[in-house]
Structure 1
Amino acid sequence: MQCRFCKFSSPHQDLIFKHYRTCHWSVNATSFPCLHLECICIFKTIGALKTHLWRVHPKTGNKGNTTFSCDNCDFRDICSQSTFLHHLRGHLKNHERVHCPFLKCNFISNSYRTFTAHNNRKHKSHGLNDFRISVCPENRCNDASPSSSLGCAPNLDEEVQVHLDEEVQVHTTDTPDDNPAETKQALEHKLAALFLCMQTQLHVSKRASQHISNAVTDILTISKSNTLAAIKDILQSHNCDVDQSVFTDIAHVLHETDPFLTACSHNGILSTEHKRNSYFKQKFQVTEPIEYVFSRADKQTFFYVPLLKVLQTLLDQPEVFEKTFTTNESAHGFYQCCFDGKYFKENRLFSSQDFSLVLGLYIDDFEVVNPLGTARKKYKLTAVYWVILNWPSQNQSSLNSIQLALLGKSSEVNANGYEPFFDPLIKDLKCLEQDGVFVQKLGNNVRGTVFTVSADNLGAHGLAGFQESFRVEKFCRFCLASLNNIQNTEVREGIFQLRSPEQHDCCITELNSSETLSSVDGVKSECVLQKHLKFFHTITGFPPDLMHDLFEGIVPFEISLCLKKWIDSKYFTLEELNNKIHSFQYCFSDQVNRPQKIAKTFSSKKTIGGNAHENWTLLRLISLMIGDLVPESDKTWHLIMDLKDIVELVVSQKLTVEAVWYLESKISCHRELFKEVFPDAYLRPKHHFLEHYPHLICCFGPLVDLWTMRFEAKHSFFKKVVHETQNFRNLLKTLSNKHQLMMACAIDSHSFFKAPLHVENVKVLKISSLDARLRLAVENKYANQTSFSLTTKATVHGTQYSRGMILCIGNENGFPEFGQIDHILICGTEVAFIVHRLTSWYIEHFRAYEINQSTHCDVAIVTPQELVDFYPLAAYNVGGRRMVVPKRFLLG
């Protein structure tokens, strides 16, 4: 058997387990893959892995039924190895002398504890073929060297044969057992990783960490007398007459070699906070933040994490390198990533290089304390993050993938401007544009630059140099529309001139040449990135803010207007609506993002409140909650359902050109209906931004890949640090240092990214054991396979699938075709879904599909790549009908 992370191999499971724990165990991201290359199961603990091997791969474990005979009594039965050993322990509990049942072992004991310790130490990895013939008459591997846990294997090389009366020795490489010094260093490193995880992942304070270290050290020191007594009992039970000094020496050596005591006792390498920090910086790949000064007189500073150093560290990781430089070509006529957009294809650097590093920045202000408390704005921070856009979107969304670049106090950044704040970052970016960063695996430098800057609208306007108000005349960063004109003129009419790089440069020139002008066409200054970077431009570098435009803008605003109208029309009361929201049977991920009750003040505030996820869920499921209470002819209902359609299109991760045209038409119809239903209401600037989305999708690709939602989740790390430590002294240094230690902890783990596939609890079946209908489907899909595994739950690229979920498995006559998961099939290293097809009818009023069992009971096997949309759906019972509501637009 071979380690799934490195070249270490051994015929014994226990040595593989020990290797896993020593070399690949990580406190912040632990996953243990099955030892069999053909099995794709991954487990969170060694115990779960052992259980899996016992149940699913019995030939490699100790499992198996055979005839056992007991030397102490008349017991003779067909049973498993564990059952027989349990029988022997019954004799030991009666203090009967029991002879060890394994080959070439003369050990005899009448002590249950001693016998169990001997068995675990000497024979834990041995199987059925390692028993004596008198104990296991069916054993035919009698005088040969005992086999490994793989079973009787007479053809193994002599160098890996193991004798039970000697210490287990395996001639292999890369194992810490070959060198005690290496083992000691590995254990020290794991202990240091535990302290690092406590401080950065679990947010345990430094004082608490030191207290835990001291307390455990004291406990282990005090337990020395217990260890001495236990050693004395064992030796005396074996009639060993040993001097008292020997007992003392053995106990002393055991305590002196204890890894925790060695590292954490007085003068230990991890005994104090200072020593631990020194160890972290020496042994972990920590990129330390650098402090820069705004004003020495006012003690205004900020921190910068060197981008080039972080890039170098990341690209040295094999899996990061693979994700960065593996290109996936998109199909013609589709928008699947930012590389499919017009702006990327027209970028002079990206279009001229075979490999380029494409970076996405994010800037935002956030509070690390209660924003409604007395300390609000006092601890408001400005953060700049970045991510590598070369990675697949599922890897970009991981919080470990989002790197910190700059961190400063918002008041000081605003007072001093973006120029000094961004200066250290821009120096590194200019170097990246001109010289690139050296990639060892490629043997040369790779250039790159910033492609996009994601931010909320206010943050984007501030950094881009536009006026930071949406009540000014030229409020839009995408066109030259006037605020008054957006009420009567659509973007699609072509009257509003789109901003272009050339037009924007003219505005900057005019602004710089005049001392009296404060702004030109809404431009008040030149973006600091455009000013210094050769391959970045303001007009092509700031995508729209999908999350705030829709889920925290248009959606809660329009739902509040519609709810007021429905309540005024006596369709239902606010109390009835809240009861519907509260009692709705949310399933799967909808349970996590369930909407909150609507406040009584929603009408006056013209918003239902709630966060982006909650508002999205409410918009998706509101038709199932109250659709039967609102007449089909109600235009207000049509307005909300049109908005639901628009959201499904905008959040799609794969769009065709035709789908973009359809989105443009939908937005136009929605605008007209809004003006008809609410003639006295004004369209907000975010409505105008939404009208630009079809064009911006063509320029940037799917907008959901560039939204701010995952970046905002990064703020939670800093908020947790402040909440747990309650330390506001030198806050910026504390937060930036802790973040870099956290990233070092992530890099130290054996997997920087989450496993693309996570499966547990599989059941191995022969294809011949299936019923004819399912067997035919499996044989058609996997012609050369004779067996496979089944499970009821699997996680693919972070999305969890389980039995009962609904998938869109294809299209029929232009309409989506659904299937319900019965089982999840694992064949080799591939995963597929066994679904039974469902018939469906589109219910226009609910904007949902009614599904029913197919009369033919058709079974289909579908891989994740064949799904129309990877997101699993839930079936909800509404008025006796099973309904499915899509989350994204389902391409026909």
Structure 2
Amino acid sequence: MIQPNDLSFCSLMEDFEKCENTFDRFIGVYMRKKYFTQSGVFLAPKEIPIAVAFYQRRNRMTGNVSQVLKNVSFQYVPIKPLMKLILESKGFLENIEMHEPSLDGLMRDFHDGEYSQQNIFCRHKRNIQLLFYIDDFEVANPLSPKAGTHKLGAVYCTITNIHPKFRSSLNNCHLVMLFNAGDAKLYGYEPIFDPLVEDLNSLIHDGIQIEAPTFQGTVRVGLAQVTGDNLGLHSLFGFAQGFTANYPCRFCKMHRAEAQLSTSENVGLLRTKDNYQMDVNAQDLPNTGVRSDSPLNKIHHYHVTQNFAPDIMHDLLEGVCPLELKLVVKALIDKRLFNINLLNSRLVSFNYGSGDNQNKPCIFSASSMTNPDGAPGQNAAQMWCLIRHFPLMMGDLVPEDDEHWELLILLLKCMDIIFSPVISRGDTVYLKHLIQDHHQHFLELFGNARQLKPKHHHMIHYPMAIQKLGPLTRFWAMRFEAKHNFSRRLSHIVCNFQNIAKTLAYRNQMLLCYNLLSQLSLVGDEVEIGPGSSVLVASITDSDVVHIRLRLGLYDEVFLANWCKVFGHTYKKHQMVVVGKNVELDPVFGKLVNIIAVESGVRLIYEEWLTTGFSRHLHAYKVEAQEPRKTEICRIDDLLDYHPLQMIQSGPPNDPAFCVVTRYKF
């Protein structure tokens, strides 16, 4: 029996008393903010005033409305302490050290491009290079009367020194600024960006002191590139903001009338620091395409004319692709090769596979065919899914020598290189000729009624941009656009727009605080294993492969998962994965048989299929099962490409052919 005066009992009761009010320090927003700030993992955004304006204020007692002066401000997350928090986080600097430039001459990331190798700041490996993204987004209902009133401008940043698979995670996309989009138009970008520019110049010259387990010292941080949609970049860079301007291109000084017919890049017209400064001094927007100087030009080792990052998501997936697809479909319908009902029927019933199922395209309306320049009717992900699968979906109804079909195939061949994560120097030369052929064919088909759009013109600069920066998908807006969703959902939950920028900035920083406090590495493997069952190795169909390759006993237990998700990609049985290349340099595909989870990670058991060729008309690889059956096992990191694909049956039922549609060139 425990005695009340027993020392151990007294000690235990004292411990219980200490736990009685454990959560008192977390009561209320102020107390939580104070605790997290003292813990060193919460970085509060600063509210910085840029002007003073009159606002209406209603007296609750009398109901009278009066005008009062109020600061116009924006939210800024100081870049210096933000970089210190991130760089000192678990495993971050180690990942930077491991991310090396390619040694085989292929371009896989930013540091493989000419810009990184020639820029005096970027070519030093220890220097941290930032990629900024600027965009406006609506937090209220876009169809409501309040649309535009609460529209916000956001600046995010990510660090290009880490591997692209980690950059694709939204946890590595960090908020830098939030401001009212109307304030930027009214007061300009300079007062908004001045604090950021000042801090960046300090980071470039003085750096920050880092105290990490594997490194103690000074690290310098600078700006590599800025990406965003065309309107946002033109506004920030000081260029003409409309595509109807005489000089609408930020890369070159080609007149709009010439650009509508030009199929190749004119190197002599490219914008440079010198001619940009002359255009700024001239203050002649109609004849130069330059409205004003950019505040970003104050950042050392950076200039907007050296910002080669194009906006391939908006240029292609929300510009060129929907326009040309509608024009081609209308032409094929006019030729009576099929009608819109048959097209929509196949669109709905087509097997896109689990990887593209969430991006199923919408059906075509009759009105959209009469107005190809109207709204695309698909978002960017849906359009990419649709245009890749369209040849296989409708190709059996179209003759192989159809001139309108040829335009679609030429566009897809261009996109195969533009969207590829691995590109050679030779590919950029080939792409230059492909774009020239595509544009020329477009003018031949529609030249009497149509000319090239400004987004067509941007394409002629893509080969140069790839040579400068590496693969363009490392700079596209797709992942940054997804970052907006957090703020959009939050604004609908909060339903308080008194100072919505402050609320959203605070919550974004609390999310970063959570990620750091929970000891989740920002550069850790994101692996999620689905349900399944534990079985003996001997009971697996391909037990000999597992037994030999994984060095497991036949009576050892392994976990067979129904699915697994790695870096956002979900792998399931019967999917196709790219496991290598054959002697003809065609991709070799494997059909997933089982997914095994062992202590060392996830392993894929696949049945290797034979690639018999590439159908240009269907824009797909034809595959068939091997005899005898060949089974292999691999890690996901060993795959040639991370994206799982779908094997699609094509042709008549009595003589079916199996095809695989890839996302890009391997």
Same fold judged by TM-score > 0.5? yes
Number of the residue aligned with 2:453: 684
Match of 1:388 among 138, 153, 159: 159
Task: Say yes or no: does 1:524 pair with 2:291.
Answer: yes
CA distance in 2 between partners of 1:528 and 1:369 (Å): 29
Paired AA for residue 184 in structure 2: V
Number of the residue aligned with 2:570: 800
Paired AA for residue 237 in structure 2: A
- Residue by residue over 1:41-96, the C-alpha shift from the partner in whole angstroms, topping out at 9 and shown as x without a partner, is xxxxxxxxxxxxxxxxxxxxxxxxxxxxxxxxxxxxxxxxxxxxxxxxxxxxxxxx
CA distance in 1 between partners of 2:153 and 2:13 (Å): 48
Number of the residue aligned with 2:322: 556
Number of the residue aligned with 1:166: none
Number of the residue aligned with 2:415: 647
Mean alpha-carbon deviation: is it higher for 751-760 or for 294-303? 751-760
Paired AA for residue 869 in structure 1: D
Number of the residue aligned with 2:59: none
| TM-score normalised by L of structure 1 | 0.66
Mean alpha-carbon deviation: is it higher for 519-528 or for 725-734? 519-528
Task: Say yes or no: does 1:670 pair with 2:447.
Answer: no
Task: Say yes or no: does 1:889 pair with 2:649.
Answer: no
CA distance in 2 between partners of 1:279 and 1:553 (Å): 48
Mean alpha-carbon deviation: is it higher for 550-559 or for 815-824? 815-824
For the residue of structure 2 that corresponds to 1:484, the secondary structure is helix
Query: How far is 1:827 from its partner?
Result: 6.0
User: Contact 1:652 / 1:702 at 8 angstroms: preserved in 2?
Assistant: yes
Task: Give 1 or 2: higher strand fraction.
Answer: 2
The aligned runs of 1:707-746 (5 Å cut-off) are 707-746=476-515
User: Contact 2:308 / 2:465 at 8 angstroms: preserved in 1?
Assistant: no
Task: Say yes or no: does 1:429 pair with 2:200.
Answer: yes
The aligned runs of 1:153-172 (5 Å cut-off) are none
Distance 1:783 1:331, change over 3 A: farther
Paired AA for residue 425 in structure 2: V
Query: How far is 1:700 from its partner?
Result: 0.7
Task: Say yes or no: does 1:847 pair with 2:619.
Answer: yes
Number of the residue aligned with 1:300: 72
Q: What runs of 5+ residues in structure 1 fail to find an aligned partner?
A: 1-177, 185-252
- Residue by residue over 1:228-273, the C-alpha shift from the partner in whole angstroms, topping out at 9 and shown as x without a partner, is xxxxxxxxxxxxxxxxxxxxxxxxx8xx7876xx456xxx434444
The aligned runs of 1:779-794 (5 Å cut-off) are 779=548, 781=549, 789=558, 791-792=560-561, 793-794=563-564
Query: How far is 1:864 from its partner?
Result: 3.2
- Residue by residue over 1:179-212, the C-alpha shift from the partner in whole angstroms, topping out at 9 and shown as x without a partner, is 999xx8xxxxxxxxxxxxxxxxxxxxxxxxxxxx
For the residue of structure 2 that corresponds to 1:296, the secondary structure is strand
Number of the residue aligned with 1:471: 244
CA distance in 1 between partners of 2:624 and 2:42 (Å): 56
Distance 1:270 1:444, change over 3 A: closer
Query: How far is 1:691 from its partner?
Result: 1.5
Paired AA for residue 434 in structure 2: K
Paired AA for residue 344 in structure 2: N
Match of 2:378 among 598, 610, 617: 610
- Residue by residue over 1:353-409, the C-alpha shift from the partner in whole angstroms, topping out at 9 and shown as x without a partner, is 340111010111111112222111111111111111111111112112111111111
Paired AA for residue 288 in structure 1: A
CA distance in 1 between partners of 2:547 and 2:116 (Å): 42
The aligned runs of 1:430-829 (5 Å cut-off) are 430-441=201-212, 442-492=215-265, 495-500=266-271, 503-509=272-278, 511-512=280-281, 514=282, 517-518=284-285, 521-530=288-297, 532-606=298-372, 607=374, 608-679=376-447, 680-753=449-522, 755-759=525-529, 761=532, 763=534, 765-766=536-537, 775=544, 779=548, 781=549, 789=558, 791-792=560-561, 793-812=563-582, 813-825=584-596, 829=600
Query: How far is 1:504 from its partner?
Result: 2.8
Paired AA for residue 305 in structure 1: V
The aligned runs of 1:51-62 (5 Å cut-off) are none
CA distance in 1 between partners of 2:519 and 2:12 (Å): 22
User: Contact 1:466 / 1:524 at 8 angstroms: preserved in 2?
Assistant: yes
CA distance in 2 between partners of 1:702 and 1:180 (Å): 63
Mean alpha-carbon deviation: is it higher for 271-280 or for 334-343? 271-280
CA distance in 1 between partners of 2:545 and 2:73 (Å): 69
Query: How far is 1:860 from its partner?
Result: 2.5
- Residue by residue over 1:262-292, the C-alpha shift from the partner in whole angstroms, topping out at 9 and shown as x without a partner, is 456xxx4344444444444444621111111
Query: How far is 1:312 from its partner?
Result: 1.0
Task: Say yes or no: does 1:289 pair with 2:58.
Answer: no
User: Contact 2:263 / 2:440 at 8 angstroms: preserved in 1?
Assistant: no
CA distance in 2 between partners of 1:862 and 1:660 (Å): 32
For the residue of structure 2 that corresponds to 1:837, the secondary structure is strand
User: Contact 1:407 / 1:732 at 8 angstroms: preserved in 2?
Assistant: yes
Mean alpha-carbon deviation: is it higher for 483-492 or for 469-478? 483-492
For the residue of structure 1 that corresponds to 2:592, the secondary structure is strand
Query: How far is 1:568 from its partner?
Result: 1.5
CA distance in 2 between partners of 1:534 and 1:319 (Å): 29
User: Contact 2:622 / 2:660 at 8 angstroms: preserved in 1?
Assistant: no
- Residue by residue over 1:608-656, the C-alpha shift from the partner in whole angstroms, topping out at 9 and shown as x without a partner, is 3210000011111112322222222222112112222222221111112
Distance 1:565 1:420, change over 3 A: same
Task: Say yes or no: does 1:325 pair with 2:325.
Answer: no
Number of the residue aligned with 2:181: 410
Match of 1:876 among 632, 648, 663: 648
User: Contact 1:467 / 1:523 at 8 angstroms: preserved in 2?
Assistant: yes
The aligned runs of 1:238-249 (5 Å cut-off) are none
Task: Say yes or no: does 1:315 pair with 2:87.
Answer: yes
The aligned runs of 1:64-103 (5 Å cut-off) are none
CA distance in 2 between partners of 1:565 and 1:510 (Å): 43
Distance 1:796 1:269, change over 3 A: closer
Paired AA for residue 849 in structure 1: Y
CA distance in 2 between partners of 1:315 and 1:511 (Å): 38
Paired AA for residue 717 in structure 1: F
CA distance in 2 between partners of 1:762 and 1:470 (Å): 58
Distance 1:718 1:758, change over 3 A: closer
CA distance in 2 between partners of 1:857 and 1:806 (Å): 16
For the residue of structure 2 that corresponds to 1:440, the secondary structure is strand
Which is greater in Rg? 1
For the residue of structure 2 that corresponds to 1:390, the secondary structure is coil
Number of the residue aligned with 2:64: none
The aligned runs of 1:87-126 (5 Å cut-off) are none
- Residue by residue over 1:10-47, the C-alpha shift from the partner in whole angstroms, topping out at 9 and shown as x without a partner, is xxxxxxxxxxxxxxxxxxxxxxxxxxxxxxxxxxxxxx
Distance 1:774 1:847, change over 3 A: farther
Mean alpha-carbon deviation: is it higher for 566-575 or for 860-869? 860-869
Query: How far is 1:883 from its partner?
Result: 3.5
Query: How far is 1:348 from its partner?
Result: 0.5
Number of the residue aligned with 1:269: 25
Number of the residue aligned with 1:31: none
Query: How far is 1:870 from its partner?
Result: 2.1
Query: How far is 1:784 from its partner?
Result: 9.0
Paired AA for residue 561 in structure 1: L
Distance 1:581 1:179, change over 3 A: farther
Identical positions, percent: 30
Q: What runs of 5+ residues in structure 2 fail to find an aligned partner?
A: 1-10, 55-70
Provide the alpha-carbon RMSD of the alignment: 2.6
Query: How far is 1:887 from its partner?
Result: 3.2
- Residue by residue over 1:406-444, the C-alpha shift from the partner in whole angstroms, topping out at 9 and shown as x without a partner, is 111111111111111001111110111011111112221
CA distance in 2 between partners of 1:180 and 1:694 (Å): 73
User: Contact 2:416 / 2:664 at 8 angstroms: preserved in 1?
Assistant: yes
